[in-house]
Structure 1
Amino acid sequence: MSSFETWQSPLSSRYASKEMSSLFSNATRFGTWRELWLNLAIAEKELGLSIPDEAIEQMRANLKLDERQMKLAAEEEKRRRHDVMAHVHVFGEVAPAAAPFIHLGATSCYVTDNADLIFLRKALDILLPKLAVVIERLAVFAEKYRALPTLGFTHMQPAQLTTVGKRATLWIQELLWDLRNMQRARNDLGFRGVKGTTGTQASFLQLFDGDHDKVEQLDDRVTSLFDFPYAMPVTGQTYSRKIDIDVLSSLASFSATALKIGTDIRLLCHLKEIEEPFEKDQIGSSAMAYKRNPMRSERVCALARWLGNTLNNARETAGGQWMERTLDDSANRRLSIPEAFLTADVILTVLQNISEGLVVYPAIIKRHINAELPFMATENIIMAMVRDGGDRQKCHEHIRVLSHQAARVVKEEGGENDLIDRVRKDPYFAPIVPRLDELLEPSSFVGRAPEQVDKFLLKWVQPALAPYQDALKSSLRAELSV
């Protein structure tokens, strides 16, 4: 059947990057198995096992599988009901000198689990620079709008002013924590190494005639050949599935950040204060031609919910393992781990695209400020009257009465907020009328927001991005295919 006649995951067919899709492909998986068999044989030979040079050479020359080998392996798996042994058989056919030594002393999890750890590390290596790029793009945005006053919202009700740039730093700070969490998860990864069927290394102890030192050296040597910092000191047949929890936790935490950012942007689009990128020929609605829906942010939110829920698979799988292992983890992990990384990859691409094309509308922002600022300025007016010799309690009562009158005009009549006009006309406030424009200047209500942006970018963002300068220099604008 052709591809459009069967279901395909939209993560790979529609959204995810080529590099992430390729990492979790069968070609990469089975090619990595062959690398594991090659390095096992190399280490075993170095430690004294009689493995011919020709065997090593043939294995090294056939690390990549072609379509014919993939077809043969699929046929073997169907017949033998065992994917690892199917590939042992096919690898032996193309490297006949190595056939007696492939998988020597190993269990299936030597290739499956070690390969998974390799993929986890490589997948994080793909995500981390992309996350750094998103942080950098938002940092540019925050710096540009560091001092542009805007309404702050608590309970989604107008609150004290902040700045557009300061609000962006709230997003960036959470992304910095995600960068830290992914870095920790990546750097904490060890290798399962060479542990045998139940983790006791019994088969390798037999291969080396009871020489415990050589078995330990074998474990360390294979681990070093794959450039992992350490081999896990103890395992069952598999590495502990808590490792998957640690890794997917960092992705699930990132999903919460993405959901927060996407939701904030959608709300700001509703207010018409900010607009996400919109292509020249993009259609917002099939019926309402005028619409400019925040479809990118909506996609981020949709995928973020999916990503966050993948963590529960890892948690239940880890807790449900019996003794040294059961196989009920396999089918679940084949889905949850690749899909978690593919989803995170997509979200980062969309966030980069959004952050590179956010449009700010200062005039709309100012209109919203003007509608609310008179109420917020009442405290400034009271303080100015007191400094001019007025009585604080009398002033408070005057401004309270005028505020309620203005609020009634807004809420019951649908009019504009005329509190300041009422203050100007009230003889009681005559002493401070010449200073009203000064008292109503929005920039005087944002506190240290601009300075906070500057310090945050300098002290926290720049150091966090320092290891990713090459990625930042080489990164292109993120274009979405659909």
Structure 2
Amino acid sequence: MEAFDTYQTPLSSRYASKEMAHLFSPANRFYTWRTLWLNLAIAERELGLPVSEEAIDQMKANLKLTPEQFEVAAQEEKKRRHDVMAHVHTFGTVAPAAAGIIHLGATSCYVTDNADLIFLREGLTFLIRSISVLISRLSAFADANRALPTLGFTHFQPAQLTTVGKRATLWIQELLWDLRNLQRARDDLGFRGVKGTTGTQASFLALFDGDHAKVDELDRRVTELSGFKYAYPVTSQTYSRKVDIDVLAPLASLGATAHKIATDIRLLANLKEMEEPFESTQIGSSAMAYKRNPMRCERVCSLSRHLMVLHQNALMTSAVQWFERTLDDSANRRITLPEAFLTADIVLSTLQNVSEGLVVYPKVIARRIAQELPFMATENVIMAIVKAGGDRQEAHEHIRVLSHEAAHQVKHLGLENDLIERIRADPYFDPIKGQLNALLDPASFVGRAPEQVDAFIRDWVTPALAPEELQRAINGSQRVELSV
């Protein structure tokens, strides 16, 4: 019952994947701190500082915390009021040969900031894989529906026909841009490295008796051991919080994309042209038993709005970092950074679930086309009359009168659009009545939509998903089953 007596964020307890939830967990955070202390000790030993091999071995053997060590760390933090020093002491209890050199020359931000950069990089990698799977799933949907005509909508009013597949490519194109932005953010990330209390490396210069070359090499070596290609050339006590802005910006942009996709599907669900997955035992409304609410897409919209506003938090935090640092970023970032990644993770997994079970209703789509297409086809009818020897202005007037009569039937009497029947009954149109079926074929109104789908998938989607990392993610991905 203890778990039910304490608030838990639904991001981790209800929605997020195990991988993303673990990334920002205390267990992984403190494991990463110990790994960073190990990397620092290895580099310091290589450069001649008195760090024993036994110390290194003990540190390597105790990177993961046991429940007992978590309890020791908690007690130490109560006493010392400092989380990093509490864990320095706790690590020393299981690696006594290293107790005197753990954190040697470092400031707290050596572990906290470098760990955050590791988490940002890994989190971006998770999201890159997830968005690649989503793009793959939606591309299969677009291909399957490449030539299925449907009404286009501008201003949410009926417009020229498109296809269901072509509309999906509009979603995919924005996701491709999000994929690019996530990759850019990840590949641009650097390491804080070994910079000391205010970024001057003074403590390390003292440790190496004024040898600047060894301090440079220590920074380079720890960066290499931690898996980064480069360290930021200058830092204050922290890495610049502008880095957080650059990381959260593509996540916020992804939120905007996801909100648009989910909104489109919600609107189409209202038109009964398309539906998200709906389990046989699922209840849409406690009162209205017939309802099939688009709850998944509503969840995407809800969480996407949260994701979009978190970027503003990073902007404000970066703007108020005085001089070499101020601690009013700390509590803020402990919330904002994990929430941004957990939220983006949930948005993508939910959209993947939707994309894997999207249901299209062609007959409903065809009926709506039939209601609107006669008006859209009037120009084709006029052109056919002219080709048959008729007068364009005369044909236009006949069509205008019949169109207004048909519109009256639809708008005032609630009847079906009978414009075509009126045209068939009017002797003026006798010369082209044999062409009417062809003139009203929906496929003739979609332009190059099917060919655009083919070219888009071939020339843009396939190359974007070609890297081996993404192919492994796509091929290894299972269908997403959502929690309630």
Query: Which TM bucket (shorter chain)?
Result: over 0.9
**Residue in 1 aligned with 2:22?**
22
- Quote the residue 2:314 is aligned against: 314
Shift of 1:445: 0.2
Equivalent position of 1:474 in the other structure: 476
**Deviation per residue, 1:398-433 (Å, 9 max, x gap):** 111111111011000111101111111111111111
- 1:62 matched residue in structure 2: 62
- Secondary structure at 1:443 match in 2: helix
How far did 1:127 drift? 1.1
Instruction: Tell me the equivalent position of 2:256.
Output: 256
Q: How does 1:19-418 map to 2 (within 5 A)?
A: 19-418=19-418
Match of 1:466, SS state, is coil
Residue type at the aligned position of 2:481:
E
In the TM superposition, residue 474 of structure 1 has moved relative to its aligned partner by 0.9
- Whole-Å separation in 1 of the counterparts to 2:295 and 2:190: 40
Query: Which one-letter code corresponds to 1:309 in the other structure?
Result: V
1:44 and 1:253 mapped to 2: Cα distance?
42
Identical-residue share of aligned pairs (%):
72
Read off the aligned partner of 2:28 and give its amino acid letter. T
2-structure distance, mates of 1:34, 1:427: 89
What is the TM-score when the length of structure 1 is the normalising length? 0.99
2:226 and 2:76 mapped to 1: Cα distance? 28
Tell me the CA shift for residue 481 of structure 1.
2.0
Distance 2:227 2:42 in 1: 15
3-state secondary structure, aligned to 1:152: strand
1:106-144 per-position Cα deviation (integer Å, ceiling 9, x unaligned): 000000000000000011111111110000000000000
Residue type of the partner of 2:473?
A
> What displacement does 1:40 show?
0.2
TM-score by length of 2: 0.99
Q: Name the amino acid aligned to 2:480.
A: A
Q: Cα RMSD over matched residues?
A: 0.7
* Count of residues in Structure 1 that have an aligned counterpart in Structure 2: 482
- CA distance, structure 2, for counterparts of residue 348 and residue 177 of structure 1: 15
Give the residue type in structure 1 aligned to 2:75.
E
Q: Displacement, 1:101?
A: 0.4
SS in 2 for 1:146: coil
Long gaps (5+) in structure 1: none
2:425 paired residue number? 425
Query: Partners of 1:356 and 1:379 in 2: how far apart?
Result: 39
- Separation in 2, partners of 1:287, 1:437: 45
SS at match of 1:161: strand
Distance in structure 1 (CA, Å) of the matches to 2:129 and 2:334: 25
Q: Aligned equivalents of 1:427 and 1:37: distance in 2?
A: 91
CA distance, structure 2, for counterparts of residue 427 and residue 410 of structure 1: 23
